[in-house]
Structure 1
Amino acid sequence: MQSWYKSGSPWVWLSAAGVSFSLIAVLGLLWLIASRGLSYFWPAEVYQFDFTDEQGQTQSVIGEIYDREQVPYAQVAHLNLPFLSSESADSEQASGEHLTNEQQTLERILIKTGNRELTNLDFRWLFQGSIVKQSSPEHIAVIERRKNGDFYGFIDAIVSGGQVVELSQLPLLLARARNLQQQVKKLERGEIRSVNFELERLRLHERKLLMKNQLDQNTQQEINQQRAVLEQNYRAFEQSLNSVREQLMRDQIIVTAANGRQVSLDFADILQITYNNQLTTLDKVGLFLKQLAVFVSDEPREANTEGGVFPAIFGTVLMVLLMTIIVSPFGVVAAIYLHEYAGKNTFTRVIRIAVINLAGVPSIVYGVFGLGFFVYLVGGSIDNLFFGEALPAPTFGTPGVLWSAVTLAILTLPVVIVSTEEGLARIPSSLRHGSLALGATKAETLWRIILPIASPAIMTGIILAIARAAGEVAPLMLVGVVKIAPSLPLDGDFPFLHLERKFMHLGFHIYDVGFQSPNIEAARPLVYATALLLVSIIVALNVGAVAIRNRLREKYRALEQ
Structure 2
Amino acid sequence: MKKWTEGGQPWIWLSAGALSCALIMLLGTLGWIAAQGLHHFWPKPIYQLELPATDASSPRALSFLAQPLRSGQVVDQSQDEQLWRLGNRDLQNQEYLWLPKSAGAEFSRPENALRIERQAWGDLFGFAQALIWQETQEDTRQEQRVPAEAAEFWSSLQTQLRVTQALQQQIRLLERREMGRLNQQLEQIRRQLRTSASHDPDTHAALLTTQQQLLHDHERLRLYLQNLYQQAAQPQLEIRLAQGETHALGLDQILRITRPNALSFIEKLQLYLHNIWAFLTENPREANTQGGIFPALYGTLVMVLLMTLLVTPFGVLAAIYLHEYAGKSLLARWIRISVYNLAGIPSIVFGVFGLGFFIYLVGGQLDQWLFADALPAPTLGTPGLIWVSLTLALLTLPVVIVATEEGLARIPRSLRDGSLALGATPAETLWRIILPLATPAMLTGLILAIARAAGEVAPLMLVGVVKLAPTLPLDDVFPYLHLDRKIMHLGYHIFDASFQSPDPEAARPLVYATALVLILLILLLNLSAIRIRHHLRERYQRFHNL
**TM-score, normalised via structure 2 length:** 0.94
2:70 counterpart of 1:67: yes
Residue number among 409, 429, 444 corresponding to 1:460 in the alignment: 444
- Within 1, Cα distance between the matches of 2:125 and 2:38? 22
Residue number among 170, 173, 183 corresponding to 1:196 in the alignment: 183
Q: Which runs of 4+ in 1 moved over 6 A?
A: none
Give the secondary structure class of the aligned counterpart of 2:131.
strand
Q: Provide the residue aligned with 1:149 in structure 2.
A: 122
**Is the alpha carbon distance of 1:7 and 1:207 closer, same or farther for their aligned partners in structure 2, counting shifts above 3 Å?**
farther
- Within 1, Cα distance between the matches of 2:496 and 2:74? 30
Contact 2:283 2:470 in 1 (8 A): no
Residue number among 539, 546, 549 corresponding to 2:533 in the alignment: 549
Contact 1:208 1:388 in 2 (8 A): no
Deviates more, 1:490-499 or 1:505-514: 490-499
Mapping 1:51-450, distance limit 5 Å: 51-52=51-52, 55=55, 58-70=61-73, 75-76=76-77, 105-161=78-134, 162-167=143-148, 168=153, 169-210=156-197, 213-214=198-199, 216-450=200-434
- Within 2, Cα distance between the matches of 1:227 and 1:492? 24
- Within 1, Cα distance between the matches of 2:201 and 2:36? 66
Deviates more, 1:232-241 or 1:512-521: 232-241
Matching residue's letter, 2:293: V
Contact 1:69 1:108 in 2 (8 A): yes
Matching residue's letter, 1:60: S
- Within 2, Cα distance between the matches of 1:192 and 1:152? 36
Deviates more, 1:217-226 or 1:150-159: 217-226
Contact 2:349 2:459 in 1 (8 A): yes
CA shift, 1:38, in A, is 1.0
CA shift, 1:163, in A, is 4.4
Contact 1:70 1:107 in 2 (8 A): yes
The alignment's C-alpha RMSD in Å is 1.5
Give the secondary structure class of the aligned counterpart of 2:105.
strand
CA shift, 1:442, in A, is 1.4
Contact 1:490 1:498 in 2 (8 A): yes
Give the secondary structure class of the aligned counterpart of 1:156.
strand
Contact 1:122 1:522 in 2 (8 A): no
**Is the alpha carbon distance of 1:482 and 1:120 closer, same or farther for their aligned partners in structure 2, counting shifts above 3 Å?**
farther
Give the secondary structure class of the aligned counterpart of 1:11.
helix
CA shift, 1:474, in A, is 0.4
Deviates more, 1:9-18 or 1:63-72: 63-72
Mapping 1:503-518, distance limit 5 Å: 503-518=487-502
**Is the alpha carbon distance of 1:510 and 1:120 closer, same or farther for their aligned partners in structure 2, counting shifts above 3 Å?**
farther
CA shift, 1:195, in A, is 1.1
Contact 1:142 1:153 in 2 (8 A): yes
- Within 2, Cα distance between the matches of 1:560 and 1:364? 42
Deviates more, 1:137-146 or 1:253-262: 253-262
**Is the alpha carbon distance of 1:120 and 1:384 closer, same or farther for their aligned partners in structure 2, counting shifts above 3 Å?**
farther
CA shift, 1:52, in A, is 3.5
* Runs of 5+ unmatched residues, structure 2: 135-142
Q: Provide the residue aligned with 1:97 in structure 2.
A: none
Q: Provide the residue aligned with 1:87 in structure 2.
A: none
Q: Provide the residue aligned with 1:471 in structure 2.
A: 455
Matching residue's letter, 1:123: Y
Matching residue's letter, 2:207: I
- Within 2, Cα distance between the matches of 1:491 and 1:230? 23
**1:338-365 CA distance string (max 9 Å, x none):** 1111131333222212111111100000
Deviates more, 1:459-468 or 1:230-239: 230-239
**1:131-187 CA distance string (max 9 Å, x none):** 321111101000110001000011112222344324412122112211121122122
Matching residue's letter, 2:171: V
CA shift, 1:560, in A, is 2.3
Q: Provide the residue aligned with 1:100 in structure 2.
A: none
Give the secondary structure class of the aligned counterpart of 2:79.
strand
Matching residue's letter, 1:128: K
- Within 1, Cα distance between the matches of 2:187 and 2:43? 45
**TM-score, normalised via structure 1 length:** 0.92
Contact 2:196 2:203 in 1 (8 A): no
Contact 1:510 1:531 in 2 (8 A): yes
Identity of aligned residues (%): 51
Contact 2:456 2:491 in 1 (8 A): yes
Contact 2:295 2:470 in 1 (8 A): no
Contact 2:63 2:243 in 1 (8 A): yes
2:483 counterpart of 1:499: yes
Matching residue's letter, 1:164: R
Give the secondary structure class of the aligned counterpart of 1:374.
helix
**1:13-32 CA distance string (max 9 Å, x none):** 22211211111111111111
**Is the alpha carbon distance of 1:170 and 1:15 closer, same or farther for their aligned partners in structure 2, counting shifts above 3 Å?**
same
Contact 1:156 1:256 in 2 (8 A): yes
- Within 1, Cα distance between the matches of 2:206 and 2:189? 11
Give the secondary structure class of the aligned counterpart of 1:535.
helix
Deviates more, 1:485-494 or 1:503-512: 485-494
Contact 1:517 1:523 in 2 (8 A): yes
Deviates more, 1:125-134 or 1:142-151: 125-134
**Is the alpha carbon distance of 1:68 and 1:53 closer, same or farther for their aligned partners in structure 2, counting shifts above 3 Å?**
farther
- Within 1, Cα distance between the matches of 2:417 and 2:5? 45
- Within 2, Cα distance between the matches of 1:372 and 1:543? 35
- Within 2, Cα distance between the matches of 1:131 and 1:459? 64
CA shift, 1:3, in A, is 2.4
- Within 2, Cα distance between the matches of 1:206 and 1:244? 33
CA shift, 1:516, in A, is 0.6
Matching residue's letter, 1:179: A
Give the secondary structure class of the aligned counterpart of 2:376.
coil
Deviates more, 1:265-274 or 1:219-228: 219-228
Deviates more, 1:167-176 or 1:321-330: 167-176
CA shift, 1:8, in A, is 2.0
Matching residue's letter, 2:384: G
